[in-house]
Structure 1
Amino acid sequence: MTVDRILPTEEAHDLLDLTRELATRELDGKADDYERRGEFPRDLLRTLGRSGLLGLPYPEADGGSGQPYEVYLQVLETLAGSWLAVAEAVSVHTLACYPVHAHGTERQRKMLPDMLGGELLGAYCLSEPQGGSDAAALTTKATRDGCGWSVTGTKAWITHAGQADFYNIFARTGGEGARGISCLLAEAGAPGLHPQTPERTMGLRSSPPAQVVLDNLHVDADHLIGEENGGFRIAMEALDAGRLGIAACAVGLGQAAVDYAAAYAKERTQFGKPIAAFQGLGFMLADMSTQVSAARALLLSAARLKDAGRPFSIEAAKAKLFATDVAMKVTTDAVQVLGGYGFVSDHPVERWFREAKVLQIVEGTNQIQRLVISRALTG
């Protein structure tokens, strides 16, 4: 089903049409093969980048497309409906470009056209094996070595590890807590930067995360992004926007599950009529569709706040929480609609069910989102 869109410009409508065309031509029908082989679709990311889809929310002067977040998120939703791993890769890459865009020096910003054009793929190295949600407690350490920094530690759950061309590395350069963290930019292949074997994941097997071991990695002094010990603020700014990206992926996945389940229910007959005609199942489909629409509305409301330059972090947390919980619920129900056929890999709902789970975890678990929202309410 094509969802009716109210977009701010005719250009945005054209962009969404282009995205649908690219998704149909380049993504549809390919996910299962890549997932089975555990192969990352790097060339597809380059294709999307050369089509202008990897720099959508960034200014044209930097090599982006200058689109509002409201539009960018609907593009992500469309991509996620065809192949979640690709949409998540676009979201993570967009997140990884943020530090240089918002806080980079003039020299660092010269990389933006290649970053936003998809020639350079980014990774965002914040989490650690013992510190995911408690990012301010990270232990990766960067010490001055005369002409820059020497970085030692291990990062965990890094999307694009081993695939990325540049890595944002958050490391401790000062005292304990959030005020002692800096953001450093490292290039792939640098001595001392060692991506590890990809994790064996439940879903997103064509884009599995991996640890990145940093063994006396040298980072030149001019690769410090922003102020020394000011990296935690950069990390949190990027994550606010990144949560909207994951919410958009969840909405796209949920919409795909609704559409597939409804189409199946109209074709599958039992007791002489399509199973969609049975009220118990029809009401389930109605609830699934309503939940996805509600998640989309919450997501776009948060995006409009961001586009207007107003505070949006709490609304981003709400959107991420609600949309990813909805994706988990809707994909579970889609499996139920298909019955036994939903339990086998012949139908995509089995994969979508597995993929939905990770969306409740990445960019801050949904328990952390509830903590953020509750603290905002109670002070």
Structure 2
Amino acid sequence: MIRDAEILEGLVDAVRRFVRERLVPAEAGVEETNSIPPTIIDEMRELGLFGLSIPEEFGGLGLTMEEEVMVALELGQTSAAFRSIIGTNNGIGSQGIIVDGTAAQKAYWLPLMAAGEVIGSFALTEPDVGSDAGSVKTTARRVGDHYILNGTKRYITNAPVANVFTLMARTGGPGSAGVTAFLVPADSPGLSLGQPDRKMGQRGTKTCDVILDDCKVSADAVIGGVEGQGFKTAMKVLNRGRLHIAAFCVGQAQRLCDEAVAFATTRHQFGKPIAEHQLVQALLADSATETYAGRCMVIDAARRFDAGERIIQDAASCKLFCSEMVGRVADRAVQVHGGAGYMQDYPVEHFYRDVRLFRLYEGTSQIQQIIIAREMCAQR
């Protein structure tokens, strides 16, 4: 659902120019320093990128799913680190508040997130809990007008720079019904951070453990004010997040296609550009075809989302196909580059490492397969 095509085109064009003129030239520096320059983060704030999906009444752009997908396709044309810094504010870091937060929680946190003055983070994964989100072991015990939290969260995106965590902890018995969602400020007593993780790729993104040692938070930190709804809250925001990630994967694939074509048309072997060799053409053609298929899938699913249809299977299919697809495209792009593709002098080297993560976070490919099959059988 595109509400105003002219306004959206203006936004997409602004993001496209920002990506090409500011972010792409900064990629090498981010790889080298493992950090995003503060000036670029300030420019992201000015563009409204921290509030793409946050409702307009709270200072965001309030994009529909289809509109958000169109922006994500452009953001995907550069290093994943740039999306990561704004991703949690637009996705799992804010959507839980949007769908289930109290009026007071929305009024306080969402304007700050939309402006980029607060960076949100989503703390679900634990050392022994990942795909089985209903088995959270972090505990939250109510004492008067506050809760005491104990446990460790692992691989938490933006944790080193976050101001608030949407954090899942167990307030009741076993299973998903005992999980509650909390809004935990980063400066809460008893909250500390582990050492930054040393990752395979996506340099410039910040992840680390979040350690809760008798961490004290106010009772009004419970999202929605009701215990036992945390798992349901997390599930509600996943469809949007999966479509966003899928669209970003398509953008990454398009950038890799462009890099492969640029190299293939200028690199000569056997007296002609390698783009004129049929086996290289096959690599390019397969990548272009899969990228196009992913784009069509995501846009279709986004339109269904905006129409209010049940898209659990569609969203999981998009996440599965697009995250796997961009891995294949990255592999082909390196192959087209030959030995040069293995060198850090060319962008395809770090894109190859970066895109591997998309098959893991926000639901592994295997989890997506289970969801798809479950939905298929439920429709009988």
TM-score, reference length from structure 2: 0.95
* Cα drift, residue 66 of structure 1: 2.3
SS of corresponding position for 2:82: helix
In the other structure, the counterpart of 1:73 is 69
In the other structure, the counterpart of 2:256 is 257
* Cα drift, residue 210 of structure 1: 1.0
Q: Contact (CA 8 Å) 1:125, 1:158: kept in 2 or not?
A: yes
In the other structure, the counterpart of 1:3 is none
Answer yes or no: is 1:100 the counterpart of 2:94.
no
Q: Contact (CA 8 Å) 2:160, 2:206: kept in 1 or not?
A: no
Instruction: Describe the shift of the 1:363–1:41 C-alpha distance in structure 2 as closer, same or farther (beyond 3 A).
Output: farther
Q: Contact (CA 8 Å) 1:120, 1:164: kept in 2 or not?
A: yes
In the other structure, the counterpart of 1:221 is 219
In the other structure, the counterpart of 2:329 is 330
In the other structure, the counterpart of 2:304 is 305
* Cα drift, residue 7 of structure 1: 9.2
CA deviation string 1:51-85 (max 9, x = no partner):
11222223211211122111112212211212211
Letter of the 1:259 counterpart = D
In the other structure, the counterpart of 2:189 is 191
Tell me, in whole angstroms, the C-alpha distance in 1 between the residues paired with 2:158 and 2:304: 30
Stretch of structure 1 that moved more, 107-116 or 42-51: 42-51
Tell me, in whole angstroms, the C-alpha distance in 2 between the residues paired with 1:294 and 1:350: 24
Q: Contact (CA 8 Å) 1:243, 1:320: kept in 2 or not?
A: yes
SS of corresponding position for 1:19: helix
* Cα drift, residue 91 of structure 1: 2.4
Letter of the 2:23 counterpart = L
Letter of the 1:143 counterpart = R
Q: How does 1:1-379 map to 2 (within 5 A)?
A: 9-41=5-37, 43-95=39-91, 96-110=93-107, 111-226=109-224, 227-379=226-378
Q: Contact (CA 8 Å) 1:180, 1:229: kept in 2 or not?
A: yes
Letter of the 1:139 counterpart = K
Tell me, in whole angstroms, the C-alpha distance in 1 between the residues paired with 2:183 and 2:219: 10
SS of corresponding position for 1:14: helix
* Cα drift, residue 43 of structure 1: 4.8
Stretch of structure 1 that moved more, 61-70 or 34-43: 34-43
- Root-mean-square deviation (Å): 1.5
**Percent identity over paired residues:** 37
Tell me, in whole angstroms, the C-alpha distance in 2 between the residues paired with 1:94 and 1:209: 17
Stretch of structure 1 that moved more, 253-262 or 88-97: 88-97
Letter of the 1:193 counterpart = L
Q: Contact (CA 8 Å) 2:54, 2:110: kept in 1 or not?
A: no
* Cα drift, residue 345 of structure 1: 0.4
SS of corresponding position for 1:82: coil
Letter of the 2:61 counterpart = S
Q: Contact (CA 8 Å) 2:243, 2:298: kept in 1 or not?
A: yes
Tell me, in whole angstroms, the C-alpha distance in 2 between the residues paired with 1:257 and 1:277: 19
Q: Contact (CA 8 Å) 1:265, 1:276: kept in 2 or not?
A: yes
* Cα drift, residue 208 of structure 1: 3.4
Q: Contact (CA 8 Å) 1:41, 1:206: kept in 2 or not?
A: no
* Cα drift, residue 41 of structure 1: 4.6
Unaligned 5+ segments in structure 1 are 1-5
Q: Contact (CA 8 Å) 2:56, 2:62: kept in 1 or not?
A: yes
Letter of the 1:108 counterpart = Q
Letter of the 1:368 counterpart = I
Unaligned 5+ segments in structure 2 are none
Q: How many residues align?
A: 374
* Cα drift, residue 13 of structure 1: 0.7
Stretch of structure 1 that moved more, 33-42 or 123-132: 33-42
Letter of the 2:368 counterpart = Q
Letter of the 1:51 counterpart = L
CA deviation string 1:249-290 (max 9, x = no partner):
211111110000011101111111111111111121011001
Letter of the 1:301 counterpart = D
Letter of the 2:187 counterpart = G
SS of corresponding position for 2:334: helix
Letter of the 2:67 counterpart = V
* Cα drift, residue 50 of structure 1: 2.5
TM-score, reference length from structure 1: 0.95
